[in-house]
Amino acid sequence: MKFAKPILNADNARAEYIKSDNGDSFHNSLLGFSHYSPSYVLTNEDIRWVSGLTQNKGPRVLTVAASGDHPMFYAMRGATNIDTFDISFCAKVAMDIKTAAIQKLSRDEYVQLLNDMHQAQRISDVKSIAELMPDIPQNSAYFIQQMGAYPIFSNGLNPSYYKETIPTDAEYAKMRENIRAPFKFIWSDIKSLHTNLTDEYDVINLSNIFEYMTPQQIHQTLAALRNHVRPGGAIIAQTGNWGINRNARAYCDAAKKFKRWARVGYCKKEKDNANSEMIAVVQRTR
């Protein structure tokens, strides 16, 4: 099947947003995720725990870009070849701002930046982004300029709800040491991600994307990604209990269908806690 590659187009991005009721701000009118849906600025997952689990698998990681926290925590853990993907270009922009910020801002200024990015009705109102512009890759800088009047980082809840996921002082220092350049970004729907890949990874983290996909789409996607994870490597198919419970059948079926090449299992953060955080893992066996 042929998949069209998105091309950055500010008119198309603006067309996804409509005026809010008060008439002086905008919001993204497409429910769900799209090529320009606003990005999160802080993860709502325990990526600190998840990135630690596969720390010894190797340095090559492919992960959803999302808020940028996924690649940043993998970098903090020592991964050196990190590629990212996302359906929304805004995720790349948020990630580029954060990787530039980590070199220039103190941790307190960085936390303030995340709050400002999330709350700004107009992204041009966030002063520290202007300071960071020279360090931001050209396509992201262009997009920020073109979308100055729009709230392109307003997805999810306010960062103050997820204070515990903000990097600690020590984590922030380690990220600063390890993140010296923007992460490579693949602008793609997960369903066609495999058509954009040439490399093999030790870990692929698909985060919370399968929640809204059918079991058949989940199967096809996991099978298509098989050749891009090394034998012994892991695809983190899903994080968080809600999506796992909802898709448990898809993963159980996968365990049967994939048994020639993969082991499918779940990993709980707290073994004895029925409500513990969980991840679904597909490990390539050959």
The DSSP letter of residue 240 is: S
Asked whether position 40 contacts ligand SAM by CB under 6 A, the answer is yes
Place of tokens 């396509």: 139
Q: Which is nearer to ligand SAM, 71 or 233 (CB)?
A: 71
Q: Which residues of 83-92 are buried (b: 16+ CB within 10 A; e: fewer)?
A: bbbbbbbbbb
Q: Which residues of 177-212 are buried (b: 16+ CB within 10 A; e: fewer)?
A: ebbeebbebbbbbbbbbbeebeeebbbbbbbbbbee
**Distance separating alpha carbons of residues 253 and 65, to the nearest angstrom:** 28
Size of the site for ligand SAM (CB under 6 A): 19
**Distance separating alpha carbons of residues 219 and 247, to the nearest angstrom:** 11
The CA-CA-CA angle for residues 246, 32, 75, to 5°, reads 80
81-86 and 184-187 as β-strands: parallel, antiparallel, unpaired? parallel
Q: Which is nearer to ligand SAM, 27 or 261 (CB)?
A: 27
Write down the least CB distance from residue 52 to ligand SAM, Å.
Answer: 16
Q: Which of residues 71-130 bind ligand SAM (CB under 6 A)?
A: 86-88, 91
- Residue among 178, 208, 217, 220 that touches ligand SAM (CB under 6 A): 208
Asked whether position 140 contacts ligand SAM by CB under 6 A, the answer is no
Q: Is 267:278 a contact under the CB 8 Å cutoff?
A: yes
Stretch that binds ligand SAM, among 2-10, 64-72, 194-202, 215-223 (CB under 6 A): 64-72
Give strand pairing partners of 264.
Answer: 282
Write down the least CB distance from residue 249 to ligand SAM, Å.
Answer: 20
Asked whether position 44 contacts ligand SAM by CB under 6 A, the answer is yes
Q: Which is nearer to ligand SAM, 146 or 196 (CB)?
A: 196
Contacts of 23 (CB under 8 A, 6+ apart): none
- Residue among 61, 64, 152, 278 that touches ligand SAM (CB under 6 A): 64
Write down the least CB distance from residue 40 to ligand SAM, Å.
Answer: 4
Q: Which is nearer to ligand SAM, 135 or 189 (CB)?
A: 189
Stretch that binds ligand SAM, among 2-10, 34-42, 76-84, 218-226 (CB under 6 A): 34-42
Give the footprint of ligand SAM on this chain (CB under 6 A).
Answer: 33, 37, 39-40, 43-45, 64, 66-67, 86-88, 91, 189-190, 207-209
